[in-house]
Amino acid sequence: MPCSSLLDLSRRACIRNIDGITDVGDLPYHLLRPILLKVENPEQLREIETASPQICGHDAELWRAFMKRDIPNWEKKPHEPRNPNSWGKVYRKLLREDEEEQRQSEEALRAALNIRKEEKEKNQATIIHKAIDPEKRKARPAAKSSSTALLSFGGGSRTKTNTAQGVLDRARRETQETRNARNSALTMPTHLLNVKASQVRQAPRGMVVGYNRPAPPKIVGSSISRPAPIFISRPVVTDRDRALNAAIRSEREEKERRLKALTGLSNTGAQKPLAPPRVPGARGIASLPGIAAAGSPTSRTASPAPAPAPQQRKRPGYDPFMAVKRRKV
Amino acid sequence: MAETTDYVTLISNDGFEFVVQRSSACIAEAIKRMLDPRNNFSEAQTNTCKFENISGVVLEKVCEYLYYHEKFRDQKDVPDMDIPPELCLELLMAADYLNV
């Protein structure tokens, strides 16, 4: 007959609903075998065993199948129970042992990994979201630690420090800002603004150095009040020049006499006869340098001209240690 | 005196009675033997089978199966009869007992 027996039908129905089976009553094992083979969960099998102990001895093959599936290396371990009915116990014991072994190996692995992780973390920088500057903390010892406001004004920051890049950027920016703040001209206090520019804290180095140097030798006849101009070189006076100068002087005196005689201003005395200059040639040649030479020696040989009497000063002279007069703006 | 009627009665342990055709009932080996007039069972004389270990619900399912079997006697690839999960174990038990 084509349709299956009720036995087969019911068996198939049982297998379909295997998850709900916890008790097989007093059914003999040979009927239940195909159904029990399909039991996935060893716990369920344990329940069925408890409910229907008549299957206990026969389900050894079932437990063996479970051991093969769940416990690695089950052949090496003692897996035959002393009591043929207690296969379930054997399975459970082996499972517990296996779990214990796994846990231990996991711990060992974790420990080994943690060592590496710790070493890495030692070299890594920890991101601190709020660093407290010790100097600033001294300035503001009592800060409001608890602010329970839901909206905080100015609570955000434009540089987020949740990544390493963000931390570096923020550090860079903060150092820049502090540097600018320190070096800025705005940090000068007001009462020192004008004073600082003109205040002299120490003597100029040139004077200090000059103080220690021995005094230069004193030049006789030199007048400090009328120093020689720098751009004119000091010419050497020779006998020839002196002779020339004498000649020029005498000629000049004669011309003066004549002029005075003509104009009749002053009568200097007897008329002197016109005498040609003693050195006519030399005059023409050395006129220019002579005049030039005449200029400097006369100034030099002349006695130091009396310096004008020092004027009466109303205000004190320049004193570098004096404070600068404050200009009214 | 044994009478072979066309219908037989199957009684469950809680008193449910199911009247089925003899031909269908005799698909089950146990019932067939019980109703065989040659064996002189009381059941054969009364044409009644009482089952102390099968409940009414299960017996009803058995009868359903008997007719299902009868209906699909000649066909191939028949669909399985629907069996609710709560009955399947007991039905298994009954099927084993009745050798159906």
What pLDDT does residue A263 have? 87
What pLDDT does residue A160 have? 76
Confidence of residue A288 (pLDDT cuts 50, 70, 90): very low
Q: Which residues make Cβ contacts (< 8 Å) with residue A288, sequence separation at least 6? A: none
Average pLDDT estimate for B54-59? 92
What pLDDT does residue A254 have? 94
Exposed/middle/buried for residue A316 (C-beta within 10 Å: 0-12, 13-18, 19+): exposed
Average pLDDT estimate for A72-97? 80
Mean pLDDT of chain A: 76
The helix/strand/coil state of A164 is: helix
Residue A92 has pLDDT above 50, yes or no: yes
Which tens digit of pLDDT belongs to each residue from A32-72? 889 998 888 888 988 888 888 888 878 888 888 888 888 88
Residue A301 has pLDDT above 60, yes or no: no
Q: Out of A115-129, A150-164, A169-183, A292-306, which region has the weakest mean confidence (pLDDT)?
A: A292-306
| Greater model confidence, A91 or A2 | A91
Q: Out of A113-122, A264-273, B32-41, which region has the weakest mean confidence (pLDDT)?
A: A264-273
Nearest CA in chain A to B99: A7
Give the nearest partner residue to A13 out of B75, B88, B98, using CB atoms. B88
* Residue A181 per-residue DSSP state: H
Contacts of A11 in chain B (CB under 8 A): 92
Provide the residue count of chain A: 329
Q: Which residues make Cβ contacts (< 8 Å) with residue A187, sequence separation at least 6? A: A181
CB contact under 8 A, B98 and A9: no
Compute the half-sphere exposure of residue B38: CA atoms within 13 Å on the CB side of its CA: 2
Domains and CATH numbers, chain B: 7-98 (3.30.710.10)
Contacts of A4 in chain B (CB under 8 A): 80
What pLDDT does residue B13 have? 92
Average pLDDT estimate for A94-106? 92
Q: Which helix (H) or strand (E) holds B9?
A: strand B7-11
CB contact under 8 A, B91 and A27: no
Confidence of residue A106 (pLDDT cuts 50, 70, 90): very high
Nearest CA in chain A to B75: A2
Confidence of residue B58 (pLDDT cuts 50, 70, 90): very high
Alpha helices in B1-100 (DSSP H): 22-25, 29-35, 42-46, 56-71, 85-98
Average pLDDT estimate for A111-122? 89
Task: State percent of chain A over pLDDT 70.
Answer: 71
Average pLDDT estimate for B39-56? 88
Size of interface A-B (CB pairs under 8 A): 67
**Tokens, residue A194:** 């004008």
CB contact under 8 A, A3 and B95: no
CB contact under 8 A, A16 and B98: no
Strand order in the sheet with B17-21: B17-21, B7-11, B48-50
Task: State percent of chain A over pLDDT 90.
Answer: 12
Q: Is the ipTM of this complex over 0.95?
A: no
Q: Are strands B7-11 and B48-50 parallel, antiparallel or unpaired?
A: parallel
Average pLDDT estimate for A137-161? 61
